[in-house]
Structure 1
Amino acid sequence: MLRLLHMKGSDSAVDVSEIEQRFGRLSAAEVAEVVNFASASGNRLDRLRDPIVGWTVARADGEIVNSVATTPFRMRILIARPDLITARAVADLPGPDLSRLFAVSRTSEAMATIINVAVRRDLGEGAVEILKRAPEFAIRSAIDAARKGELHQSWRRPVANSRNALLDLDPLQHAAGLADVLTIARLTNLEHSVFTLGRSSENWSTRWNSLQRDVPE
């Protein structure tokens, strides 16, 4: 397949139907190799790039998507096949690409997967859109990322600005201990309007064992 593409690199000499037939007989690993070859600059395959992407989309699976080296080609496949969105497939995508994928995602699983990576990237205004469309997933991922020290700073203002909506979702259900409660308080900017964390932390610690089911209140 690669020899045929290389030797018939001139657009006028390429028999597209022959290329398509051979492409259909390739293994997943070979498909990824051809896609990576086609995505390289300067190999005179401009007219074939779109057909190759189309053939790849039609038969793509997780192995193929994760083996595509160039982000633009991977994005074209994922946009056409959002069912292939996985944590591995989007792990190294930049913020703008994550926003584009989120816009075409249709399942809760895909949205949650994208958001879990997105809270660790600078999405600009894309963060606001995610918080509006999927606040439950957004606050859960933001809390998890903040707990690990991985939340991107660009998310803090949009999260704080969405405080009222997020508090209605009972974010404390995601708290496993007092440290998580304080993380949530900081994310939602509560220390600036409800209590001062520094002065209250000892009281919270003392009362923790008695809170039990009353923690949300």
Structure 2
Amino acid sequence: MNSAALTQSYPILADLSPAARQMLLEAARWMTVPAGTVLFDDHQACEGFPFVVEGSVRVSKCAPNGRELPLYRVTPGETCIISSSCLLGSADYNARGVTEADTRLMMLPKPVFDRLLADPAFRDFVFHLFAERIADLMQLIEEVAFQRLDQRLASLLLGKGRVLHITHQQLADELGSVREFVSRLLKGFAAQGLVRLAREQIEILDAGGLRRIASGTDSAQGGHS
């Protein structure tokens, strides 16, 4: 059952040579991890390559003052570029990974990961997803460096449906900002008639107006990070 779930989430594994596929399955270490578990953290040694079959892992860069900048999520079928780079460079982790839901994953030990890189299909799989993650991180860097916080907040709100059941702190965590800035911007959005605020709930009233802010053609007050 485990091997079937793994192949369903990562179809590329079916393209491995029979010897490589057998090596992977025999070395697989399966884990079921509760939501909110720290899978890895700064300065920890990387002991394996994770394959997520159920749930998700949120990877963030953490500052000494407690603020976090979310980098990406690892969901079924995706890989963790931080784990990849640490394994390839024999370095420790430089970010934190926390499960967002109860998560089922397979951990491939480092020695087997190294051996499987000799298989063309596995090597292509690792570097293809590595390239995709790099592109995502470059987009994140561009957003943080060149977009105001009000633009990023408007874009985030638009991606979550008409009614969002979320706290201001959760939005701040998503944006790598602080709750006070986000709350100030949301009150500004509400004053403009763009959203309606309630306890742990935000209702989108004017999606077009938010899109204008997100695109930079309109602005809200207090758009600093």
TM-score (norm 2): 0.27
Larger radius of gyration: 1
TM-score (norm 1): 0.28
User: Where is the strand percentage greater, Structure 1 or Structure 2?
Assistant: 2
